[in-house]
Structure formats: C-alpha cells, structure tokens
Structure 1
C-alpha cells in the first residue's frame, strides 16, 4: 500500500512542503527510514537520526528546515502525537479477515447476521445472537446466546463473549479477552471472617469452619459505542443489573472489571488495573497501570490516578491521586520526600540522645 506525500497530508489535515508526489509505503523512525519511508522526526532531538537514515520525506516540527535536513519533501503538523493517530489509521491494513462466512464457522440458525459481516475460521455463534452490519469476527472467537454485536465491530482471535452481552458500534476487542464471565461473588451461611474484618478493621472474630456458596450472575455486560477492550482483559457480568462501560472508554491489556461495575464515558484504564465489584466510575477517568479500586466505592469524573495507586475510599471529582493508600498526588510526593529523609532524621535523633546522655552524666 503506497501513498503520496500529498495524500498523507490531506488525511492528516497538514501542510506539505517540497515534492508532494513522493510515494510512501511505510512509516519509520528517522535512523531506520529508507527512501520509501516517511520518517517520524517530529521533534528537533530526532534530527540526528535523519542523517543516519535514508529518508526522502519526513513529518517535522514547525520551523524545521527540511532542505537543510537533506529531504525532498516534508509534512508539518500542529500536534505531532495527535498526527500519529491519523497516520497509523491510514497505514494500518488491519487484520486479514476474509469477507463472508468461513465454511468452518458454526452459526446457530436463529442468529441474525447483518450485511457485509466477515466471520473467520472456527468461530462459534450461539442461539439468537445478533451481529450488526460490517462487523468482523476473527478465527476461534465465541459469541454466546442472546449476545448483540454492533455495526462495524471488530472481534479478534480467541475472544469469548458471554450470554446476553451487548457490544455497541465500532467496538474493538483484542485477542483473548473474555466479556461476560460470571462475577466473583460468594457468601457464607453465617457471618464470615471477612465481614468481621471489614466492620472492625482488624478483628476476624472467632475462627471456625465456613464454606463459600456461589451467588449466581443473572445480569450481563453492556458496552457502549467506540469502546476498545485490550488483550486478555476480563469483564464480569453483573449479579442482577448489567456491568456497564460507557461510550469511548478504552481498556488496556490484562484489565479486570468486576461484577456490577459502572464505568463512564471516555475513560482510560491502563494495563493490570483491577476494579472490584459494584464500583461506580465517572466520565474521563484515567487509571495508570496497576491501579486497584476497592469494591462499592465511587470515583468521580475526571479523576486521574498514577501508577499502582490503591483507591480504598470515594474519590471526589477532579482529584489527582497517587500512592498506597491513595492520596492527593502533591501530598504523596511530600510524604515520600519525608520518607527518604527518615534515615538522616534517625541519625540526628541518635546524636541528640548521646548528647543528652552526656549532659546527664556530667551533672
């Protein structure tokens, strides 16, 4: 697949200088770019890489002298990182899923398959499933009974979609994700040690035999439009009501969303985030990698939590959090500075003790 420099600039809404007819077949880092590549030299620090490679064209920062850099043409964009989204979309051919239904796919006769759908090898589509127009389902995916998949959805290899799950339009699910497994919900006939600890914050009560009884999941999972689900991410169905994920939200790989969780619109959950059951998360919330959220709490709109933050209590709207347990980021930074000063403080206290002891002996 090849594009002219002019075609790329038009797709990005960007400005071209030099030879707009240059043909480009791929994008590359400056030092690795050949004559057919578009070098991504979007900041001055990448200029040296252009001299190491053989690019004839590049995306450059505003004010760059493309002639002095030895190029035949250049594209200038106001926000380079945002331009990357358009460039990669243009050049990404996407997964190769043949049009139509592969002969090895198993599709229940009650399923409704929309026009233009592509279904790959060894896919299983259960009873009463509805698949919207132009959806694509890659090899070995499974869609269980009564699930609904929206228009232009992309379900990649080995994805498991459980019963009654609803996916909106243009949803992307990466390989190995599981949407709609049972929630992890168990109860004991008598009050459990865990319940005692939650109430007392430390006392488990008298030890005794206890067995766990399953609370079955009668709800499902409802996912809005333009949501992306990462590889090997798991989203559990609700106990009674659905687990819900709002439109535009993106989940990274290895994220776990527990039963009854509600996540708002345009949130970003990075790798290894864990959200326990019945949490409510507002809109535009960002969790960095390994953030953990305690069950049955609320996280307000526009909250940002740094990596490995553990949120145990409600987080107000707009709060920026860091640490274990979570606290305001600026408070955590100050506390960490104090922690690093502790060895010096202990040494100073020891010296003071010695001095006081000597004064006592002199009396």
Structure 2
C-alpha cells in the first residue's frame, strides 16, 4: 500500500510542493525516516531531525523552507494533530480479517449477516442477531441474541456484545471490550449500613447482618454511530431503561460505564474513568484519566474534568473542574497552593506564639 504526495495532500486538503509524484508507504519519525517514508515534522523543533534522516518527503509546518531541509517534496499543514488523524487513517489497514465467514465461526440460523461482512475464526453470533453490511469481526468475538451491529463496524479480538444491545454504524471496539454485561445492582431486605451512612454522612447505626439480593438487568445498551470503545472497557446494561452512549463519543481503555448512565454526543472519556449508575452526561464532555462520577447526578454540556477528579454533585454546563471532590479548577488550584503554604504558616504561628508569650511574661 502506497500513496503519492499529491494524494496525501488532497486527502488532507493541504498544499504540496516539489515532486508530488513521490510514493510513500509509511509514516516515520523524521530522524529515522527512509527514502520511502513520509517524515512527520509538523513543528520547527523537528527541522534538524529531518536533516538527520533520509526522507525525500515530509509533512511540515506552514512556511518551512523544505528545500533547505534537503527534501524533494513537502506537504504543509496548519494543525498538526488534525493532519495526523488524516495521515494515520490513510496508512492504517486495520486488523487482517479475511472476507466472508471463517469455517470455524458459529452463526445461529436466525442471525442476519449483511453483505460484505467479514467474520473471523471462532466467532459466535447468537439467535436473531443482526450484523450490518461490511462489518468486520475478528477472532473470538461473541455477539449475543437479538443484538444489532451497524454497518462497517469493527469488533477486534475477544469483544463481547451482550443480548439486545443496539450499536450504530462504524462502531469500533478494541480487544476485550464488553458491551452489555449486567449492572452491579444489589439490595438488602432492610435498610443497610451503606444507606444509613449515606444519609448521616458516617453513622451506620446498629449494624444488622444481612445478605445482598441481586437486582437483575432487564435493559440493554444503545450506542450511536461512530462511537469507539477501548480495550477492556465495560458498559453495563440498564436495569429497566437502556444505558445510552451518544453519537461519536470515544471511550478509552479500562473505562467502566455503570447501568442506566446516559452519555451525550462527542464526549471523550479517558482511561480508567468510572461512572456509577443513572447519571446523565451532556454533549462534548471531556473526562481525563481516573475521573470518578457519582450515581444519579447530571454533568452539563462542554464540561472538562481534570485527571482523577471525583464528581459527587451536579456540574453546570461549560465548567472546568478538578479535584477530590471536584470544584472549579481555579478554586482547586488556589486551595492546593494554600495547603502547600500550611507548614510555613504553622511555623510562623509558632514563632508568633513565642513572641507573644515573651511580651506578656508567660514564657
């Protein structure tokens, strides 16, 4: 697989100069790039690295002197990471899954397989499941009964799709993702210590031994178009209503979405985020790694939560938050600065006490 510089530039909507007929087969760091590689040097900081490599063509920052860098061709891009998205899309062939259905796949007679779908070895597709056109399903994937997978989806190795889940077009699930497992929902016959301590903020009262009774999950998971789910991420089905993930939302590795959550469109949910049940997350929300979300709260549109933030209360739209518990980011930073000053303040107070004691004769 190779592309000319002209084709690369056209796909990016960018300007190209020099010998645009040069063909490249892969992208590379500038210093290690060879003659058939496209060097990615989209910042002036990489200029010297281009000279150190052997690339004939590179993607450069606007205004770069490509000839001075010893190049035969160049593509100029104003926004580096947007260009990276286009270049990596063009050069990534994805997992190799042979066309058609592998002989070892087990597909229920009532399942519907769309035209052009590729189904790898040891895949199981349950009763009445629907697989969209041109979907690609890698080895050891299971799709349970009545599940629906949209067109052009990609399910990587070991993905599990639970019963009755409805998933949109162009869905991507990385290895080991589990969509539609039961929610974690249990109750005791009488009020538990957990419930009492939540009301009283700490006092459990008289503790009575009780066992947990399971609340079964009758809902499913509904996922929009162009959603991506990372490796070993888990999305639980709803108890009664469905758990919902909006169009174009992206979940990182090891994310856990609890039962009944509703997540909006175009959200970024980074690694190890955990959401308890029945919360509502708005559109375009970004949660950095290891954020935690309490149950039954609302996070508005366009909220940005810094890494390891713990969100216990409703968050209005547009707010930037950080901390444990999460507060406005500027407030958290000021609080942190104050905490760092505490040892110095304590020493100053101790000196003041000594001075006052001497002045009052109480030394």
Q: TM-score, normalised by structure 2?
A: 0.99
Shift of 1:31: 1.0
Matched, 1:230 2:244: no
Give the corresponding residue for 1:252. Answer: 252
Q: How does 1:115-126 map to 2 (within 5 A)?
A: 115-126=115-126
1:157 & 1:114 partners in 2: Cα distance?
Answer: 20
3-state SS of the aligned residue for 1:278?
Answer: coil
3-state SS of the aligned residue for 2:104?
Answer: coil
2:195 & 2:327 partners in 1: Cα distance?
Answer: 25
Give the corresponding residue for 2:263. Answer: 263
Q: How does 1:277-316 map to 2 (within 5 A)?
A: 277-316=277-316
Cα-to-partner distance string for 1:257-281 (whole Å, 9 max, x where unaligned): 0000000011000000001000110
Shift of 1:118: 0.6
Q: How does 1:118-157 map to 2 (within 5 A)?
A: 118-157=118-157
Give the corresponding residue for 2:321. Answer: 321
Shift of 1:51: 2.0
Shift of 1:52: 1.8
Shift of 1:27: 0.5
Report the aligned-residue RMSD: 0.9
1:345 & 1:79 partners in 2: Cα distance?
Answer: 47
Shift of 1:362: 7.2
Give the corresponding residue for 1:342. Answer: 342
Shift of 1:145: 0.5
Cα-to-partner distance string for 1:106-133 (whole Å, 9 max, x where unaligned): 0000101111111000000000101111
1:308 & 1:126 partners in 2: Cα distance?
Answer: 39
3-state SS of the aligned residue for 2:16?
Answer: strand
1:57 & 1:20 partners in 2: Cα distance?
Answer: 9
Give the corresponding residue for 2:87. Answer: 87
Q: How does 1:98-113 map to 2 (within 5 A)?
A: 98-113=98-113
Give the corresponding residue for 2:64. Answer: 64
3-state SS of the aligned residue for 2:344?
Answer: helix
Long gaps (5+) in structure 1? none
Shift of 1:81: 1.1
1:331 & 1:362 partners in 2: Cα distance?
Answer: 40
Matched, 1:241 2:241: yes
Deviation larger for 331-340 or 265-274: 331-340
Long gaps (5+) in structure 2? none
3-state SS of the aligned residue for 2:47?
Answer: helix
Deviation larger for 273-282 or 73-82: 73-82
Shift of 1:360: 2.0
Q: TM-score, normalised by structure 1?
A: 0.99
3-state SS of the aligned residue for 2:7?
Answer: helix
3-state SS of the aligned residue for 2:361?
Answer: helix
Deviation larger for 261-270 or 202-211: 202-211
1:234 & 1:65 partners in 2: Cα distance?
Answer: 48
Shift of 1:347: 0.9
1:21 & 1:118 partners in 2: Cα distance?
Answer: 34
2:90 & 2:117 partners in 1: Cα distance?
Answer: 22
Shift of 1:53: 1.2
Matched, 1:159 2:144: no
